[in-house]
Amino acid sequence: MKVTMRVNGAEKSGDVEPRVLLVDFLRSNLLLTGTHIGCDTTSCGACTVLLDGEPVKSCTLLAVQVDGREIKTVEGIAQGANLAPIQIGFHEEHGLQCGFCTPGMMLVGEALLQRNPNPTDDEIRWAISGNICRCTGYMNIVKAVQHAAKLQAQAANAPEAKQPAMAGGGE
């Protein structure tokens, strides 16, 4: 079956069997391998993508189900040459170690900040409760999302400045 979707802002299509999962379509057909396959059983969240802005598990979606819809993967987070606030947050707060869960964690964090720009630690913990990290632990991931929230708030309060805090990762 022919499927067409917008992925990270660009229209992409492919010819797939109905049983092809979205995660496999992204990784194998579009070669977007930033979306990971972890448990493959709807538990771990490594395969998280944003579907029309909401985080979902792409191992539990058929590619044909999202025909005509909008997908964002980790490859679509950066803002041109600049890292996005959520990426800077993970960098600054050491929100990752092996990095396997990170694409999912960042997408969940970004979607949360869209809905709730000033979340409590508790709200962040609830938001990432469908995503499993097996090495860094969750403390720094929560801090990373808080860091991104602060950067976004600063950017919103200083619209004239050319995103000073977001220009790069390290100092």
Partner 1 sequence: MFPAAFDYRSPSTLDEALGVLAERGDDAKVMAGGQSLIPLLKLRFSQPQLILDIGRLPGLAEIKREDGHIRIGALVRHVDVERSAELAKHLPLMVEAVHWIADPLVRNRGTVVGSVCHADPSGDWGSIMLALNAELVAQSKSGERVIPIDGFFQGPFTTGLRPDEVATAIRIPLPTGPSGGSYHKLERKVGDFATVAVSVQLELDGRKVKKAGIGLTSVGATNLKAKQAEAGLAGRELTDDVIAEAARRAASFAEPKDDIRGTAAYKKDIVRVFVQRGLKAALARAQEVKA
With binding defined as CB under 8 A, does residue 56 bind partner 1?
yes
From residue 104, give the alpha-carbon distance in Å to each of 4, 22, 72, 159. Answer: 23, 15, 11, 29
| Residue span binding partner 1 (CB under 8 A) among the ranges 57-65, 72-80, 84-92, 147-155 | 57-65
Least distance (Å) from partner 1 to the CB of residue 10?
23
The SS3 of residue 115 is helix
Q: Which of 5, 7, 8, 21 binds partner 1 (CB under 8 A)?
A: 21
Of 57 and 147, nearer to partner 1 (C-beta) is 57
- What is the CA angle 17-56-72, rounded to 5? 80
From residue 49, give the alpha-carbon distance in Å to each of 10, 44, 144, 158. Answer: 15, 13, 19, 30
Residues at the site binding partner 1, with contacts judged by CB under 8 A: 1, 17-21, 24, 40-43, 45, 48, 51, 54-57, 59-62, 64-65, 67, 108, 126-127, 129-131
